[in-house]
A and B are shown apart, each in its own frame.
Chain A
Amino acid sequence: MDTNELNAPGYEIPPEVQGQVAITTLDRIYNWGRRASVWPMMFGLACCAIEMICTAASRFDLARFGMEIMRPSPRQSDLMIVSGTVTKKMVPIIVRLYNQMPEPKYVLAMGACASGGGPFKEGYNVVSGIDKFIPVDVYVPGCPPTPQALLNGLMKIQEKISGEHWRTSRWYQKGGDQAEIPIPILGPDLIDPRKVEEYSRRLAESEA
C-alpha cells in the first residue's frame, strides 16, 4: 500500500498535521499486512503445477508479491493453489490438507481441471472441479494458465483480501464455516459423506 492510500482513510486530516500523521482503519492496515504476505502451500498436482513453479521461479518471481515462501506444510500456509487435475484418489488428501490449514485460508483453483474438471472431466477417476469439495475463492481459467495468468489470479486473491472486513468476514464469526469438511471415502467409488442421503435418494429414484 503506498503512502497516499494509507494517508487517505476517508477522514479529513487538518492541514497543519498533514504529512506528519497517518490515519488508517484497522481493516486497512490489517488487510494490507495480510495480503502482502500470503504464503501459498507448496502443493502441485499436475501440469498446472509446472506453471506454478515457473511463476515462483526466475522469470516471474512470486516473491514480488510477498508469496515466495511456499510452505509444504498446510499448517503454515494461507493459500492453497489447487494446481491441476483433482482425481478421486487424491481428493481425500486435498480435503484433509484444507482442513489442516489455519484460518483465514484461501483457495485458488488454477486451470481448467481444478475449476471445472478440465479436459479429463469425463474420466472415471476425475473430480469435476475442486469446488465440489472445498470452497474456492478465485478461478483461473486456462490449460495451463500461463504464469502471468496465474499472477493475475493471485492479484485477485489480494483484491479479495483487501475487501474483507474483520467484523463481517466469515473467518471471525462463530460457527459454521470453520467446521471441518468431512473427508471423502474411497469405496467402490468416491463417497462424499455429506451427500450419502442424496446418493441413496437418487439411486432409489433411478431404480424406480
Chain B
Amino acid sequence: MSEMYGKGILKGLGVTLKRFWDTYWEDAIWLFRQVTRGERRYRSPEGIAHRASKNTRGIFTVQYPEEKLPVPEEFRFVPFLVYEEGPNGEKVMRCTSCGICSRVCPPQCIWIVRTTDPETGRPIPDPAEFYIDVDICMNCGLCAEFCPFDAIKMDHDYELASFGRSVYDKEKLAKPVAYYESIRPLNAARENAARAAKEAARFATSAKPEA
C-alpha cells in the first residue's frame, strides 16, 4: 500500500494532462509539416492515416462526417449486384441466377426468381427478380466469396440509414462494374485476369480440334 494517499489520482491526472499536451504538441509539429510540406493534420488523408498508425499521439478522433476513416479493400457491408454496360447503354447483369449465393447465405436472406423463356419455358441465365432483405443480412460475405460469376460483391457504402425497413430489390442492388473496380481494384484486377485466362484456355481447347 502506498503511504501517500492521492498519489494514484495525481498520476492519473498526469497521464491525462500528457495526452492533452500531446495533442497540441502534435499540432505544432504538423504546423511545421504544413509549412514545409503542405501536409495537414485535420481533414486530409495523410492526417487521418497518421492518426490510424502506430505513431498516433494526442487526439485520436476521426471527425466524421467531415473526415472519414478510409475503409480497406476487403471491407464488407451489404452486398450489391454487378452489371456491365451493354452496347446500347443497357444494364447487363453478370448474375446468371444460378442460385449459389442464395444457397450459401447463412440467414437465407436472398430471394431469386429465374427468368424463363416465354416460348420454351426454359430458364434463361438472368434473374427476373433478386431480393436481399438487408435487415436480415449478416454481412458475412459468403455470397460474394462463392459466386462463380463474380456477380455479387460486398459494398463499401455504409451510409445507409433510412426512415424505414430496407429490403433491396434488383434495381436497388445493381451497381456498375466501374464502381466495383473503383472500390476493389486489386480484387477486380485479379478476377479479370482469371477470367481472361479461362477464356483463353477455352479458346485454345475449342480451337484445337479444328486445327
Contact = CB atoms under 8 A, between A and B. Distances in A.
A189 B68 CA distance: 45
A121 B163 contact: no
A116 B65 contact: no
A95 interface: no
Interface in B129-186: 133-139, 158-166
Contacts of B138: 112, 118-119, 143
A142 B161 CA distance: 9
Interface in A142-197: 142-143, 145-149, 151-153, 155-156, 160
B166 A148 contact: no
A15 to B, nearest CB: 33
B158 A60 contact: no
B62 interface: yes
A60 to B, nearest CB: 6
B166 A139 contact: yes
Contacts of B65: 151-152, 155
B163 A115 contact: no
A81 B153 CA distance: 29
**Helix, strand, loop or mixed for chain B's interface?**
loop
A112 B134 CA distance: 7
Contacts of B165: 115-116, 129, 131, 139
A152 B62 contact: no
Chain B CB within 10 Å, residue with most, of A116, A147, A153? A116
B136 A139 contact: no
Interface in A34-52: none
A190 B160 CA distance: 31
A92 interface: no
A142 B140 CA distance: 10
Given A112-B134, A116-B133, A148-B69, A141 B160 contact: yes
Interface string B49-70: 0000000000011111100110
A139 B135 contact: yes
A142 B76 CA distance: 10
B135 A118 contact: yes
A141 B166 contact: yes
Contact of B136 (A60, A118, A146): A118
A58 interface: yes
Given A60-B62, A119-B107, A139-B165, A149 B158 contact: yes
A112 B68 CA distance: 23
Given A138-B162, A138-B163, A149-B159, 15 more contacts: A60-B61, A60-B62, A115-B165, A119-B107, A119-B137, A121-B136, A139-B165, A142-B78, A147-B64, A148-B64, A149-B77, A151-B64, A152-B65, A152-B161, A160-B163
10 contacts: A59-B61, A117-B135, A119-B137, A129-B135, A139-B166, A141-B160, A142-B160, A143-B137, A152-B158, A156-B163
Interface of A: 58-61, 64, 112, 115-122, 129, 131, 137-143, 145-149, 151-153, 155-156, 160
